[in-house]
């Protein structure tokens, strides 16, 4: 893989560290409190089940495999879909005109849109190449934004994790 010169230039695309007063973040605490107070604990638990399953499977790969195998697993469509399914389940928490689950998820989407906007601000030429290293929980949305952008080309990390 050829990287543009200087190849060691590193940029932060994210909003890390998020300050406590940051308007863009992911904080499901209100959704959790609502779920517990309004007989929706089963929905809350269902939203966390994919996370638990992902962690168990990753632990298994790490216990019996290599770091490369763990990276392949975490970058697989299966693991990315499993992780991101939490947000679609969390979105269901609420009733009537109360949307604590949707509010939490919308902040998560906003965070990822800000990350993507920062990525786009780094690109100054059609010849630029950018390697994005981010937490796996961001993969589903960031991949979607990159693939949906007509002037970007997404390269699946699994093609280089050999």
> Partners of 26 in the beta sheet?
none
- Of 1, 13, 47, the C-alpha closest to 138 is 13
Q: What is the pLDDT of residue 3?
A: 41
Q: What is the pLDDT of residue 13?
A: 52
Between CA 82 and CA 78 the distance in angstroms is 6
Q: What is the pLDDT of residue 14?
A: 52
- Of 103, 101, 107, the C-alpha closest to 47 is 101
Q: What is the pLDDT of residue 131?
A: 87
Per-residue pLDDT of the chain (162 residues), as tens digits, is: 344 444 434 445 554 444 334 444 678 889 999 999 999 999 999 999 999 999 999 999 999 999 999 999 999 999 999 999 999 999 999 999 999 999 999 999 999 998 899 889 889 998 888 888 888 999 999 999 999 999 999 999 999 998
Q: What is the pLDDT of residue 133?
A: 87
For 98, the token pair is 């109360």
């Amino acid at each position: 893989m050829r990287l543009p010169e200087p190849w060691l230039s590193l940029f932060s695309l994210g909003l890390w560290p998020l300050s406590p007063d940051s308007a863009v973040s992911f904080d499901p605490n209100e959704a959790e409190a609502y779920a517990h107070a309004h007989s929706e604990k089963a929905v809350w638990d269902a939203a966390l089940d994919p996370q638990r399953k992902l962690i168990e499977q990753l632990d298994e790969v790490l216990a019996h495999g290599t770091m490369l195998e763990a990276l392949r697993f975490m970058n697989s469509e299966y693991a990315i879909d499993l992780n991101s399914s939490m947000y679609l389940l969390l979105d269901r928490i609420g009733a009537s005109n109360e949307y604590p689950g949707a509010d939490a998820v919308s902040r998560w989407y906003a965070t990822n849109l800000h990350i993507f906007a920062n990525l786009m601000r780094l690109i100054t030429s059609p010849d630029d190449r950018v390697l994005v290293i981010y937490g796996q929980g961001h993969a589903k949305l960031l991949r979607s934004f990159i693939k949906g952008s007509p002037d970007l080309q997404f390269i699946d990390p699994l093609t280089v994790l050999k």
